[in-house]
Copies of this chain bind each other. A is one copy, B any other.
Amino acid sequence: MRVAGLISGTSVDGIDVVVCDITDTEIALVEAATVSYPHEVRREILAISNANVHVGDLSRLNFLIGELFAEALVDVADPASIELIGSHGQTIYHHRDSTMQIGEAAVIAQRIGKPVVADFRVADMAAGGRGAPLASFLDYRIFRHPRRHRIALNIGGIANITVLPAGARPEDVVAFDTGPGNMIMDALAPPFDRDGERARAGRVNEPLLAGLLQDPYYSLPPPKSAGREQYGQDFVERTGINIATAAELTARTIALGVEKYPAIDEVIVSGGGAHNRFLMERLRAAIQARMIASSDLGVNVDAKEAMLFALLAYETWHLRPGNLPSATGASKPKVLGKISLP
C-alpha cells in the first residue's frame, strides 16, 4: 500500500513529507522532502503555541495548515499514486493530561481525494498514556535485532529514545523523551546552528548546567514525555542559557537517558540533530555505545518521524493498534487516530 506521512515538528521548521510502500512486514521509503511554511504562518504557529489565541484565529489556522499540508504533499508526490495519508499535524500544545494538534484532516482528504488518518496521540492519552513517544512503534518494527541491544535516538525539537533489547517483544520496549533536542539551540540561533559551529565557539556555563541537570524530570522513571513548553522561549528567558550550554545540556540529558541501559551495543541516531556535528561529538564523548546514523540502516535521518505516521495510518486502516503501552504508559494497545474519508 502506498502511504504518505506528514508532520511538522515542535520546531515548526516546515512540513516533512514522505511517501512509503508499506506491507505488514516492510516499509520502503519512496520520496522524502521538507516543505517550508510561509514565514508568517510559522510566526503565527510559534506565537500561539502554549500561549493565548482567539478561537477564531485558531480555527482559521487549523484549516489553513490543512491546506498547506495538502499542498506540501502535492509538491512531492502525485496524489493519484497515494492510497492513504497519515498526518500528525502541527502540535500547538502537549502536556501530561491533554494534547492538541491542528491541520484539518478533512481538508487534506478533500484536496488529495484519499482517506486521512490524523490525531494520533489522543486515543493513547484517553487510555491513560502520555500520547508519546509514538516513534517506538516504528523503531520496534525496523530496528529491533535478534542479538544486539539497541537504542533508537531521535533528536527533533525534543529528544527521545526507544530501548530495544536483543530479541525484544513489544512489551519489552521502553521509550521516553530524554529532554531537550534541538529546541533550545534553535531558539538561541534561529532557524538552527549549522553543524553546531556557534555552540562549538561558545563556552559552557558549568554552574548553570549543573543546576539544570538537577531538574527532577531527568531522573523520573519512564514512561515520561516532555513538551514544547518545557524547553521553549520561557525556558531560555528564565535561565539565561547560552548556546554552548544548551548543546551540552542536550547531549548530557540524552546520555543520562541512554546510560540507564548499560548493556547497549548500538545507538541509532535520527532527526535534525543528527546533522549537528558538534552535538554528535559531545554525544560520542558522553555515551559508551557505538553510534550509527539511521540512514546506515535504510532510514533517512530526516524522514523517520513522517515515516512513523505513514506506518501508524497503515496500522489504523487495518484496525490494528499503533501504540506500545510499555512505551507510552497506556492501559492497553489502541487503534490510533481518527479516520477522515475523502
Contact = CB atoms under 8 A, between A and B. Distances in A.
Contact of A62 (B100, B106, B340): B100
Interface stretch (A48-56, A239-247, A253-261, A269-277): A48-56
A48 to B, nearest CB: 6
A125 interface: yes
A62 B98 contact: yes
A181 interface: no
Given A106-B119, A122-B106, A338-B339, A53 B55 contact: yes
Range of interface residues on A (Cβ < 8 Å): 35 or more
A59 B51 CA distance: 12
B127 A110 contact: yes
Instruction: Give the copy number.
Output: 2
A284 B284 CA distance: 82
A104 B122 contact: yes
Contact of A53 (B52, B109, B125): B52
A110 B92 contact: no
Contacts of A105: 122, 338
Nearest to A66: B126
Contacts of A111: 126
A110 B98 contact: no
Given A106-B125, A110-B126, A49 B60 contact: no
B119 A63 contact: no
Contacts of A285: none
A175 B109 CA distance: 26
Contact of A54 (B52, B119, B122): B52
A52 to B, nearest CB: 5
A297 interface: no
B97 A60 contact: yes
Contacts of A48: 55
Contacts of A126: 63, 66, 104, 106-107, 109-111
Interface string A303-324: 0000000000000100100000
A217 interface: no
Nearest to A321: B341
A106 to B, nearest CB: 4
Interface string A99-127: 11000111101110000001100110111
A58 interface: yes
Given A53-B52, A66-B126, A106 B338 contact: yes
A58 B100 contact: yes
A44 B120 CA distance: 27
Given A58-B58, A66-B126, 15 more contacts: A49-B55, A52-B54, A59-B98, A59-B99, A63-B97, A98-B104, A106-B123, A107-B122, A107-B126, A109-B123, A109-B126, A111-B126, A119-B338, A338-B338, A338-B339
